[in-house]
Structure 1
Amino acid sequence: MNNSIGGIRLDSKKWNEAGAILDSLQDDIVVTDQKGTIVKVSDLTGSIYGVKSDDLIGKSVYDLESEGLFTPLATPLVLEKKKKVTFVQTTKGNKRLLVTGVPVFNEQNDIYKVVSYSHDITELMEMKSYLENLEDEMERVKSELELLRNRFSSTHGIIARSVKMEHVIKLSLQIAQVDANILLLGDSGVGKSMLANFIHQKSSRKTGPFIEVNCGSIPEQLFEAEVFGYEGGAFTGANRNGKAGLVELAEGGTLFLDEVGELPLEQQVKVLKLIQEKQFYRVGGTKPRKVDFRLVAATNKDLLQAVNEKRFRKDLYFRLNVVPITIPKLKERREDIVPLIELFMKRFTEKYNRQRTIEDNAMQIMLNADWDGNVRELMNVIERMVVISHSTVITAEYLPESLLEPKEEYTISGEVNLNDILSNVEEKLLREARERYQTTTKMAEMLGISQPTVVRKLSKYQIK
């Protein structure tokens, strides 16, 4: 009977010669019949699996798999696919083998033997795992270096010395690498537009345009024409050649929808369709236009509350809110105030060609201010002082009156006594210290009290 292995015929009478050839190879070679019984192995096979090679003859590969000697099996895979298969096998000793199974056909073209040979790739797999871990570590180090560079940089006016703002920058750098929708949250003036531009500059779309659409400043009747554009003759007074809208201008770049919470309900439907399908119609047009952009939206509104009050579409909210990033108020990241002052001083002294410095008293007042207008208010105050000051040293007299007024006034009344006032002040100072310092030891040093006292008072006012 003539047999073939992968198309090569072997005379069964010359089996001993074939066996000698197999044994001469430095590979693990196993021959089974169609039932999975081992009929031949190479000398190296036993050492691979931690047994004697002769002990494998006559045993079923299915039984050996049940005993945990190796898994998965070549024989059933070859019988199922009726062709050569290659896969990774794991042995009892946790070795990894690259196994190839080959069918042997008889003259009736039926499989009656399965030959499998393997190579030990344990070291290669370990090397692969090591390289993958190394790549992950390199990526982590790269991200940390990027974070450190931006922590001390003033790119787009963003400063991140505080823990809270550092977290914002770290998350922004991470999400900038993918095209997921981002929703920037935070009070007016915290720097949502700056962060949106920062994300764009750190993304793969940085060479494309950054198009900002202020949803609260465009009159409702002009919104579609401004955002989606219009065809020639679409309405009276329109350009006869038509006009591309802001969405079209964002092709290949980033579309930033600022104050998205101000969108009228009627326009929300069209914006939702734009985000879902990345296509739109110009005003007066009948042909859909495709556009490729990355979406970043921002709002100082509570969109979830607006959804509950039926002022904002729920489906649009969930489309926008894929990755929310909340920018903290300036008074919640006081470590950033001094570097922000330095940044704006440098910017405006160069702009107006004036040498100016800020005296310590004025600096201390600004450090203690609440800054309800956040970074925007701080920037405006610095510009104003640089412009109106007459001397090179800016004193407190140039600060706005709102920053010079006492924050709280207490008067004697039947409703509030001294203990209540002292408790209110104590709680406020503890909360500010908790926001600024991460440990109770640091808080104790700043407040001039013992660490156990700090712990007790935090518990008293339920400050976490």
Structure 2
Amino acid sequence: MSVITSYDLPYAFFTVDKKATILTCNEVAFKLFQGIVKPGAQADRIFTAFDTSKTTFLGRLDDKPFLFFLKEWNIEDRNELACIALSGEDYAKMEEHIKGLNKFNRELDAIIENSYDGIYITDNKGNTLKTNSAIERISGIPKHYYIGKNVKDLIERGILKESITAKVLETKKTVNIIQKNYNQKETMMTGSPILDEKGEIDKVVTNIRDLSELNHLHEHLKEVQELNKKYEVEVERLKAYTKQDPEVVIKSEKMIEIFNIADRLANVETTVLITGETGVGKDVLARHIYRVSDRSDKGELIKINCGAIPKDLLESELFGYEAGAFSGASSSGKPGVFELANNGIIFLDEVGDMPHELQVKLLRVLQEKEIQRVGGTKLKYVDVRVIAATNKDLKKMVNEGLFREDLYYRLHVVPVHVPSLRDRKEDILPLVESIREKYNKKYELSKKIDRTLKEFFYHYDWPGNVRELANLVERMMLTTPANELTFHDLPEEYKQDNCYMFEETILPLKESVEKAEKQTLLLAAKKWSTTYEVAKHLKTSQATIVRKLQKYNIKLED
């Protein structure tokens, strides 16, 4: 029999046979009971109520109570009983320790259960010990279905395609795999071994992450980032639109819509044809398209007036020439505007005046993006966007054989018509104010415009449109000595053409009505050729129009 056997326990431990003879004990028991508990001693004589037939009972030693736990313990084929004796103090410590363990287990269970990822735990044989509810969301199979089942059985039933647990048990290392599960969701599984004190695998813990949701979030993030890029582009366009530019002054709905269209056309490569009367601001619109487009950072905007350059020189201006191409040509040759505008935009103003023979070459540039210099033999690629403008009726010119039909349709992809100033009167006074500020700054003046002149500007027909308005305001600011410009400061030709005189004094109501009526009829007489048309647009009878025209001695132009 052993005198003292060391057992790694913090409590008194000894073994007895069926007759309560002590066989072995640990140091804790030997010291606690001051050497009384030792091999060979009778436990039932040391402790009152010591009973080997019970598993738990309360015994005493010198009026001190002890709680005994007995359990059969077979070592080396000996039928022994293992006994743990706890004092009241030890029992209290054990109870507190057990409570702590129970609390820790509850917290651990709560962490596992509330994990967003699936948790799957097996023993070292591959038998499922524990899972959490997340595995139901990922796999579509209730978590209790896995408990107690071996991973091999789950593979045979088609629940698992591949066992990561088996790979961990084989390699004794952490293993990662990506696969589609029973629910056809793409998942990433990470299996990790839990080793015992001998370095052997005790359990395998597998973490299962639903990649389909992660992929969806990634795609959504990508969409948001792309949308942000679009917003950034739009913000930059708005910044470009709001940059100070005295020539871009619009208040009317018509012009706002036109500039909105221009913004939408800014970064598409289609050809734009701007139509409208002389002086309406076609070049301003072309410049705006350039400013808000991506090409403004890559190349130049180059304008060429097809009607202002002699046709003999226009070809070399457009396409350039090689050295010695003609008499007087530069010895080094010269690039044309298409080459100079590479990566940018070329604005062909008054394209209707382009000679017929050059229209063919322009068509090739639009279709092939290739040019050939005058006197040259090689074709050269150019990345140029074309914006064209005209005040002529190109369709009518096509019918008359003055303009190539194929070029017309190539230019007429996106037509934008800029209305005349008389058809967008809301823009007149803002334009006047902008022009006044521009020339006050340029010439260091402080001119103002009074009500009578503003009324004239608003009611005048402006056959020369914005260009005529700007020229007139500049002329008056430079030639009028007074700081305040009035109707009376207008050049005589403008006063003579307008019978509606803007007086600062208040006229009798009847006279004011007659003047306004006369001015309206004067404008109508210039615009419509029959009394029936005038009556229709002024919403009155033809007889009334005839009578009023006779009253004011006004004749229709035709």
Equivalents in 1 of 2:432, 2:464: separation in Å? 15
Normalization by structure 1: what TM-score?
0.63
1:232 to 323, 334, 343: 323
Residue 425 of structure 1 pairs with residue 515 of structure 2: no
Residue 171 of structure 1 pairs with residue 261 of structure 2: yes
Are the structure 2 counterparts of residues 282 and 348 from structure 1 closer, same or farther at C-alpha, using a change threshold of 3 Å?
A: same
Larger CA deviation: 205-214 vs 359-368: 205-214
Alignment of 1:154-303 (within 5 A): 154-155=244-245, 157-207=247-297, 208-303=299-394
Amino acid at match of 1:188: T
Alignment of 1:54-203 (within 5 A): 97=186, 119-122=210-213, 125-126=216-217, 128-129=219-220, 132-133=223-224, 136=227, 139-140=230-231, 143=234, 146-147=237-238, 150=241, 154-155=244-245, 157-203=247-293
Equivalents in 1 of 2:412, 2:183: separation in Å? 48
Are the structure 2 counterparts of residues 302 and 386 from structure 1 closer, same or farther at C-alpha, using a change threshold of 3 Å?
A: same
Alignment of 1:229-378 (within 5 A): 229-378=320-469
2:126 to 13, 16, 20: 20
Equivalents in 1 of 2:235, 2:276: separation in Å? 25
CA contact (8 A) 1:89 1:99 kept: no
Equivalents in 2 of 1:88, 1:344: separation in Å? 70
Residue 384 of structure 1 pairs with residue 475 of structure 2: yes
Larger CA deviation: 325-334 vs 127-136: 127-136
Equivalents in 2 of 1:217, 1:25: separation in Å? 88
Amino acid at match of 2:390: T
Larger CA deviation: 266-275 vs 295-304: 295-304
CA contact (8 A) 1:155 1:198 kept: no
Equivalents in 2 of 1:421, 1:404: separation in Å? 19
Equivalents in 1 of 2:232, 2:379: separation in Å? 45
CA contact (8 A) 2:241 2:292 kept: no
What's the % identity of the aligned pairs?
Answer: 35
Equivalents in 2 of 1:129, 1:313: separation in Å? 50
**1:212 Cα shift?**
0.9
Are the structure 2 counterparts of residues 118 and 316 from structure 1 closer, same or farther at C-alpha, using a change threshold of 3 Å?
A: farther
- SS in structure 1 of the partner of residue 466 of structure 2: helix
Are the structure 2 counterparts of residues 98 and 193 from structure 1 closer, same or farther at C-alpha, using a change threshold of 3 Å?
A: farther
Amino acid at match of 2:126: A
CA contact (8 A) 2:123 2:129 kept: no
Rg larger in structure: 2
**1:283 Cα shift?**
0.9
Equivalents in 1 of 2:448, 2:179: separation in Å? 71
**Structure possessing the higher relative contact order (Cα contacts under 8 Å, 6 or more residues apart):** 1
Equivalents in 2 of 1:98, 1:219: separation in Å? 73
Amino acid at match of 1:387: L
Q: Deviations over 1:207-266 (max 9, x none)?
A: 432211111222222221221111122122322332222222212322111111222222
1:11 alignment partner in structure 2: none
| Gapped regions of structure 1 (runs ≥ 5) | 1-15, 28-42, 62-84, 101-116, 428-464
CA contact (8 A) 2:263 2:289 kept: yes
Paired residues, number: 349
Are the structure 2 counterparts of residues 248 and 141 from structure 1 closer, same or farther at C-alpha, using a change threshold of 3 Å?
A: closer
- SS in structure 1 of the partner of residue 444 of structure 2: coil
1:440 alignment partner in structure 2: none
Are the structure 2 counterparts of residues 87 and 202 from structure 1 closer, same or farther at C-alpha, using a change threshold of 3 Å?
A: farther
Larger CA deviation: 283-292 vs 137-146: 137-146
**1:270 Cα shift?**
0.2
CA contact (8 A) 1:225 1:245 kept: yes
Equivalents in 2 of 1:44, 1:125: separation in Å? 18
Amino acid at match of 2:331: R
Q: Deviations over 1:394-433 (max 9, x none)?
A: 111233534624463499xxx959xx97664347xxxxxx
Q: Deviations over 1:367-400 (max 9, x none)?
A: 1222222211111111111122121111112335
Normalization by structure 2: what TM-score?
0.53
2:498 to 388, 404, 419: 404
Equivalents in 1 of 2:182, 2:396: separation in Å? 55
Amino acid at match of 1:384: R
CA contact (8 A) 2:316 2:374 kept: yes
Runs of 4 or more off by more than 6 Å in structure 1? Answer: 16-19, 23-27, 55-61, 85-92
Equivalents in 2 of 1:46, 1:304: separation in Å? 70
CA contact (8 A) 2:246 2:434 kept: no
Amino acid at match of 2:521: E
CA contact (8 A) 1:209 1:254 kept: yes
CA contact (8 A) 1:154 1:343 kept: no
Are the structure 2 counterparts of residues 362 and 25 from structure 1 closer, same or farther at C-alpha, using a change threshold of 3 Å?
A: farther
Aligned-residue Cα RMSD (Å) equals: 4.1
Amino acid at match of 1:20: G
**1:19 Cα shift?**
8.8
**1:127 Cα shift?**
6.7
Amino acid at match of 1:204: D
Amino acid at match of 2:461: D
Larger CA deviation: 364-373 vs 138-147: 138-147
CA contact (8 A) 1:90 1:97 kept: no
Are the structure 2 counterparts of residues 325 and 136 from structure 1 closer, same or farther at C-alpha, using a change threshold of 3 Å?
A: farther
Are the structure 2 counterparts of residues 277 and 138 from structure 1 closer, same or farther at C-alpha, using a change threshold of 3 Å?
A: closer
